[in-house]
Structure 1
């Protein structure tokens, strides 16, 4: 095991008291505390926030567009951290799937989106900021399961230095086929970072205001 699934930080309400939980996944070179700082921008105060931290602050060594085996065994270990967290939230804290939300940035968004696609159910929401599904262009996307109208948001620059917009749009298409309500927004000439509009959309989707986003 490369990544330690017990290396986690929390914020917001205590897990025992919250009726919603958001798993926040940091990017390459980031930390659990970095991504948890975004919890201050989430307007709904019923959330617990939980963030795993990657060994060496990197979930896998190479670009998410490289052949999958090049990022092994790190990628499988990182996906196992996601699975372990979800299992603990269910078994130890009795969260139902629809009470679990996912948010990731950059490498963390790619990891979280790939995990969600491989484990599709009705989640509370899935928010991928500057990320997309993992693997090279010709990767078969034979995921099983349905998101059952889970709100999914994909936000990214239209010329991101790490994430081609084509991959964001491909991911949108895959998630739509899997029954998610997908909102995608590409920001012209925007740097590889998180912007205020993205956080506003996340808050609207949490509040169930799907229509006012599109």
Structure 2
């Protein structure tokens, strides 16, 4: 086991009191504390936030565009962390999938998007910023399951140094095919970072799903 599924931080409402939970996945070189600091920009006082931390602050060693076997066994261990967290949220805290949201940046966005694609359900929402589905070009995307209109937002620069815009658009097509309600937005000449507009869109999508 490379990544420890018990190594995570929380913020917001206690898990025992929250009615929704957002799993926040950090990028390469980042940390759980880094990504969790963005929770203060997420609107909704009924949220708990959970952020797992990668061993060595990296979920897998090479680019997400490399053959998947090049990033093993780290990639499988990282996906297992998200599976373990989702299982714990459902079993221990009684969150339904529709109450679980996924938020990732960069390498964390790639990991979160690949996880939900492999584990398609009707989630509360999925937000992948500066990321895309994992694997080299021409990877088969024969994922099972349906998102049942889950809102998915993909935000990225149109000339990101790590994430080709073609992969963002391919990911959009895959998620649309799997029944998600997808919004992809490419930002002209924007650096590899998160911008205010992306957080605004995340909050708009959360508001649409807000529990009455």
Interval of TM-score (by shorter of Structure 1 and Structure 2):
over 0.9
Task: Give CA deviations for 1:135-192 in whole Å, capped at 9, x if unaligned.
Answer: 0001000000000000000000000000000000000000000000001100000000
Q: Which residue in the other structure is 2:31 paired with?
A: 31
Structure 2: gaps spanning 5 or more residues: none
Q: Which residue in the other structure is 1:189 paired with?
A: 189
Question: 1:45: Cα distance to partner?
Answer: 1.1
- Within 5 Å, give how 1:117-196 maps onto structure 2: 117-196=117-196
Task: Give CA deviations for 1:82-109 in whole Å, capped at 9, x if unaligned.
Answer: 0000000000000000000000000000
Give me the whole-angstrom Cα distance separating, in 2, the residues matched to 1:112 and 1:187: 21
Q: Which residue in the other structure is 2:49 paired with?
A: 49
Q: Which residue in the other structure is 1:12 paired with?
A: 12
Give me the whole-angstrom Cα distance separating, in 1, the residues matched to 2:184 and 2:208: 16
1:3 aligned to 2:3? yes
1:83 aligned to 2:83? yes
Structure 1: gaps spanning 5 or more residues: 210-214
Give me the whole-angstrom Cα distance separating, in 2, the residues matched to 1:145 and 1:191: 34
Question: 1:117: Cα distance to partner?
Answer: 0.1
Give me the whole-angstrom Cα distance separating, in 2, the residues matched to 1:79 and 1:43: 27
Give me the whole-angstrom Cα distance separating, in 2, the residues matched to 1:23 and 1:32: 10
SS of match in other structure, 1:117: helix
- TM-score (norm. length: structure 1): 0.97
- Within 5 Å, give how 1:88-103 maps onto structure 2: 88-103=88-103
Q: Which residue in the other structure is 1:106 paired with?
A: 106
Give me the whole-angstrom Cα distance separating, in 1, the residues matched to 2:65 and 2:45: 36
Cα RMSD, aligned residues only: 0.6
Question: 1:43: Cα distance to partner?
Answer: 1.1
Aligned residues: 209
Runs (4+) off by over 2 Å = none
Task: Give CA deviations for 1:124-145 in whole Å, capped at 9, x if unaligned.
Answer: 0000000000000010000000
